[in-house]
Structure 1
Amino acid sequence: MSYLDPEFESPERRSARRGPLLMALAALVPGALLGWMVYEAVGGGGSGGSPRASVPASAVSRTSAAASWPARSASAPPFASPGDDAKAAATAGSGPLAGKVIVIDPGHNPGNFQHPTEINRQVDIGTNWKECDTTGTSTKAGYTEADFTLDVAHRLGTLLEQQGATVKLTRDGDAPPWGPCVTERAQIGNEAHADAAISIHADDSAEGDRGFHVILPGTVHAGAADTRPIVGPSHDLGARVADFFLRETRQPASNYVGEGTGLVTRTDLGGLNLSTVPKVFIECGNMRDSKDSALLTYGAWRQKAAQGLFEGIADFLNR
């Protein structure tokens, strides 16, 4: 995701409270690693491209406020597999995250390029009017942000579901064919009454600009936007996500925004302004930097990224 004139604040990074959750996560990691090894063995960790799992085009409805996480085809390789016991627990609606609803928003859409009129339509984000959506960016070799974000979203969704959570995506597969608009993406989380929502992106900046940053909602009270109830919990969620993402991926905090904290506050993003549930964005790296793009196009690293996001969200939900 690229942007102009962001509002940069440098919120003081709060240490994520680990507590008993780390013991549970420590037990999970070996199983997740085994699942990753299986996934790599069947060819799921290749560089670039869309995930190889077959996802039905009907998985997301344009008329539905929240799309349920789609069932995978029997022939689709797993993105991560902590084990049959975890899968059974998730199916039964049990596990450490049972009863929790998480909305994952994979940024952009590969079909946006074919729908310029639709995505350039202006929508009200409270503070001002912006495009419905944008095309996103890509690596210099052509691996698109839209493909990257959906792949990480699938991996993250699998990890969350295996712990009993209900996962909803704002887009999946070929549906919708473009968008959704940023206003709709926020609405999906709101109508799902999500316990947490995260929008996954990769940045578009100059060569040499490296690292990740988590975008937190600033205080907005204008028009249809009122972030005051979610600013505190969203900042808590963002700090935990940043901590665990750094630990799992070893990706450094951004060297070009956030003053080294990995945290940036903005009030110009509709997906945050219109959210009524705790929500953050993450820019996992800069697709236009050669070092970052080498990570983003590597399947094993994307699995680590999903693991870091999972641990941060789980830590927030179990606080």
Structure 2
Amino acid sequence: MSYTGPDFEPPQPRRSPLRRPLTVAVAALVPGALLGWGVYAAVGGSDDGAPGDAGSPAASSAAAEPPTAGKPSPSDSPGDSPSDAAPLKGKVVVIDPGHNPTNFEHASDINRKVNVGTHWKECDTTGTATNAGWPEAKFTLDVAHRLRTLLEERGATVKLTQDGDRAYGPCVDERAHIGNEAHADAAISIHADGSGAGNRGFHVIMPGAVHDGDADTRAIVAPSAQLGESVAGDFARVTGSEPSNYLGDGTGLVTRTDLGGLNLSTVPKVFIECGNMRDSEDVARLTSGSWRQKAAQGMSEGIVSFLRG
């Protein structure tokens, strides 16, 4: 309840005995402060400095601030250590984009037989295609380029068996030799399958034990299995794709002894069939650029995990 009006005057606060001296002191200080600012502006101040400009009060304040909580300073970032920034430095990865977009123009060349250790088979094939005619060879080269970029960003030395720079091939035996001669720490051959409609999903093919003629995979069976398991796990996680429903008993892992690219390899190597180009659900993924980027990312992470042990 308050009492105001002509008949009532609220009590007045008592004057402090220090009030007048303080007023005088403040009045005396104001001219001095203005003079000091004038000297600062003439000597070191910025006439038009936006926040953050050198010499401005905002810049001085920002420079003195510690890193924002939860955001490490550059010197504290774990990514700055050589092992984290380039975990694949010194590692060599060979990427083998399956088939070649112009193989179909060189039927006699790709049909000639080459020795794959256990038997003789065609140099190469044209690969499969979607029902709309988009070829596997273009898919594999696109994913290979994306994968190369990701691996090089992690510090790896990357070599492709072909980069659209050959009239055809290379033949399956040469594809293996390219990885061998590069002394690859890991090699991966990228493909898409051409199975029947309703068959969908990815699978990773690993070499079985072969010791016949020029083929001897015994030393690479175990590390190739580790590479295959690593790639399959990360590929599924990153892409959201399911393992093949028609090969591999739901594991996404298949072992074969009839592929020259594996039989003749002396370095850890796997094939990956990223999906079925004759199944509409898989085709929706395979023909999507954003999904192909995920496919490359999944392969990259699998390879990194394998090479880092």
**TM-score of Structure 1 vs Structure 2, range by shorter chain:** 0.7 to 0.9
Residue pairs, 1:97-176, within 5 angstroms: 97-173=88-164, 175-176=165-166
Question: Is 1:212 equivalent to 2:202 in the alignment?
Answer: yes
Taking the aligned partners of 1:156 and 1:171, their CA distance within structure 2 comes to 14
User: Deviations along 1:176-217, whole A, 9 cap, x unmatched?
Assistant: 110000000000000000000000000000000000000000
Which runs of at least 4 in structure 1 moved beyond 2 Å after TM superposition? none
- CA deviation digits over 1:111-137, x for unaligned, max 9? 110000000000000110000000000
Query: What letter corresponds to residue 104 of structure 2 in structure 1?
Result: F
1:191 matched to 2:187: no
Query: Among the aligned pairs, what percent are the same residue?
Result: 72
Partner of 2:276: 286
Work out whether 1:295 is the aligned partner of 2:285.
yes
Could you tell me how far apart the structure 1 residues matched to 2:86 and 2:282 are?
35
For 2:258, the equivalent position in structure 1 comes to 268
**Partner-residue secondary structure (3-state), 2:121:** strand
Partner of 2:3: none
Mapped partners of 1:212, 1:95: distance in 2: 29
SS in 1 for 2:189: strand
Structure 1 unpaired stretches of 5+ = 1-88
Residue pairs, 1:62-77, within 5 angstroms: none
- State the AA in 2 paired with 1:141: A
Mapped to 1, the partners of 2:216 and 2:250 lie a distance apart of 28
Q: Which has the higher helix share?
A: 2
- TM-score (normalised: structure 2): 0.72
Aligned position for 2:227: 237
- What are the Cα deviations for residues 71-130 of structure 1, in whole angstroms up to 9, with x where unaligned? xxxxxxxxxxxxxxxxxx9xxxx7111000000000000111000000000000011000
CA distance in 1, matches of 2:153, 2:186: 17
TM-score, normalised via structure 1 length:
0.70
Higher relative contact order (CA 8 A, sep 6+): 1
* Counterpart position of 2:8: none
SS state at 1:211 partner: coil
1:297 shift after superposition: 0.3
After TM superposition, give the deviation of residue 141 of structure 1 in Å. 1.0
Unmatched 5+ stretches in structure 2: 1-79
Residue 248 of structure 1 pairs with residue 238 of structure 2: yes
Letter of the 1:98 counterpart: K
How many positions carry a matched residue from both structures?
226
Find out whether 1:306 has 2:292 as its counterpart.
no
Which residue identity lines up with residue 291 of structure 2 in the other structure?
W
Q: CA RMSD in A?
A: 0.9
Residues in 2 aligned to 1:224 and 1:176: alpha-carbon distance in whole angstroms: 26
**Rg: which structure is higher?**
2
Q: Quote the offset at 1:142 in angstroms.
A: 1.2
Partner SS state of residue 306, structure 2: helix
